[in-house]
């Protein structure tokens, strides 16, 4: 039976992208994304829970992240979970889980400045087959979405 490895996150960037240019014209951007949920506990106290996610964007998406994304910017991402494992110098098993982003939409909120009007919605996508590429689809019509 085939499995599904799909992640959808909406949150704010914790810092500016860290972009590295590699051999063979490969580019990778690493980002941190905060997702926060608010709720009331049994006693009626407000609770705020923030989770931090490590994001990895490649090639066209990485270049777009470098150009447009800044700390505080709100984004929507779709991707898949990737986990690395290794042994440290003491022989202990170590793990790192990250999200390999395949689709990204820049949202209007956040404190980051991208030079793009807030009412514009930007959708960037990486195809599943072959090497990642990107397209920037800017829609200037406003919609009734809450973000």
Taking the alpha carbons at both ends of the chain, their separation in whole angstroms is 37
127 within some domain: yes
14 within some domain: yes
**Rounded Cα gap, residues 12 and 32, in angstroms:** 8
2 within some domain: no
| Confidence band, pLDDT 50/70/90 cuts, at residue 110 | low
144 within some domain: no
52 within some domain: yes
120 within some domain: yes
**Rounded Cα gap, residues 70 and 65, in angstroms:** 8
| Confidence band, pLDDT 50/70/90 cuts, at residue 126 | low
84 within some domain: yes
Domain count along the chain: 1
- What pTM did the predictor assign? 0.70
Mean local confidence (pLDDT), 134-145: 41
Beta bridge partners of 88: none
92 within some domain: yes
Q: What is the CATH number of the domain that holds 29?
A: 2.40.50.140
Residue 139 CB-half CA count within 13 A: 9
pLDDT tens digits along 65-106: 999 999 999 999 999 999 999 999 999 999 999 999 999 999
Domain that holds residue 13: 8-36+45-139
Residue 60 CB-half CA count within 13 A: 15
């Amino acid at each position: 039976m085939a499995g599904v490895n799909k992640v959808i996150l909406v949150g704010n960037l914790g810092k500016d992208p860290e972009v590295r240019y590699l051999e063979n014209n490969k580019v990778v951007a690493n980002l941190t994304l905060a997702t926060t949920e608010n709720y009331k506990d049994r006693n009626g106290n407000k609770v705020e829970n923030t989770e931090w996610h490590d994001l990895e964007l490649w090639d066209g998406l990485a270049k777009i992240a470098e150009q447009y994304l800044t700390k505080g910017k709100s984004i929507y991402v779709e991707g898949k979970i990737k986990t690395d494992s290794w042994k440290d110098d003491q022989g202990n098993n170590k793990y790192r889980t990250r999200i390999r982003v395949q689709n990204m939409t820049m949202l209007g909120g956040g404190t980051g400045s991208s030079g793009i009007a807030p009412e514009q919605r930007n959708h960037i996508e990486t195809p599943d087959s072959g090497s990642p590429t990107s397209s920037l689809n800017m829609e200037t019509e406003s919609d009734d979405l809450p973000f």
